[in-house]
Structure 1
Amino acid sequence: MKTLVIEDDRRIAAFLDRGLSAEGYRVTVELDGRDGLERARSGEFELVILDRMLPYVDGLEIARLLREEHSPAMILMLTAKDSLRDKVEGLRGGADDYLTKPFAFEELLARLHALKRRHAAPDVESELHIGGLMLDPQSRRVSRAGRDISLTPREFELLRFLMTNAGKVVSRERLLNGVWDYGYDPGTKIVDVYVRYLRAKIDLPGEPSLIQTVRGVGYMIGKTRREDL
């Protein structure tokens, strides 16, 4: 999920960036309200984590402007102000939820999961099936041959990207852009490393890997079907 963090406390901003990135969120950080509002208005972010007290333009004004402009982004407001009046003002101003500082990262994640449930799109993504492997985008469940497979958020997104493009060769550049949100090749082997992680989890002993390597290009997984194989 593309996430914009607008927070002028560099320590908190770095903490959110590291923690959310580890959970599979694609994070951009802005350190003041003016730049944050400009980025939020781009429409590229699904989630905005917004400090209330910001230089140049405060968080309440940013939330109000985004709602007036019909931004569909979810807004979670962070603030040290914990009075009932302040919370009501933040929620009426356009925030979807309100979290007071200091906060535990686990509570932040729980609130984000609740926000995503409330804002879930009505059209449900279908399950993906191939070679006995099943991926359910809604429950984020993966299984093969009746065995549940535990994946990290990044592994799940990589597998979903490959299965959505089943039967097609997907270049490393497309995977970097689609899964890691890199607009360039950082010169690392991160795609190859995560494909190796996936193979270790989804392949059956003694059988060929579901994920095929296309030398010099990228990877491919076979065609999907919408019914059980």
Structure 2
Amino acid sequence: MALIEINGMIKEYPMGRGKFTALKNIDLEFTEGEFTGIVGPSGSGKTTLLNIIGSLDVQSDGSVRVMGNDIEKLSGKQSSKLRSKHIGFIFQTYNLLPVYTVFENVEFPLILLGMSTEERKKAVLEALDWVGLTDKIKSRPAQLSGGECQRVAIARAIVKKPDIVLADEPTANLDAENSHHILKTMKKINEELGTTFIFSTHDAKVISYLKRKITLLDGKVFKDEIVE
């Protein structure tokens, strides 16, 4: 069964007296264990598509189903529950809480899920072990490098063992060495935990790791291909 089903999806935004169509008649499916990139030039609709999949936005027409849920019909509370339980997010700007330690940043999604202190501690240490940061649990974001901050963001995204991780330009602020380290970590998580990763990117380094590449051009799916 597909984790994500998109049929005839259109996304429009008001623009002056008219409207701008960001996504046009999108038909896509994503299944468990994918390591897929949505690629294309700036303005092609990559981030918009990722936001709709993550129920951070809603389509203007067509249907989008995530984990069996019709995104358009979800209330704000139901959308929040879907994200909390099933979807992890990784952003290019990390979005870490500056006053929290590494441990507390990774722990935060588990507090929202109502997990016990002992369960949270075990899950956080496991996630930080995955990204190689167990020695930084008491550090704050300002004390970390860009690569380390993004590894904390990955740990935060996977700590609840989500079905889907959405990564919006995750290597945009990283050098080549850190980019490859981050990508190898995500690939390992994908292969060993079966987590579905969907990237928005135009970074050749990210593209070289993908199993599937979906190219958007002017808001349309230009090409959808399996990468050998």
More strand by share: 2
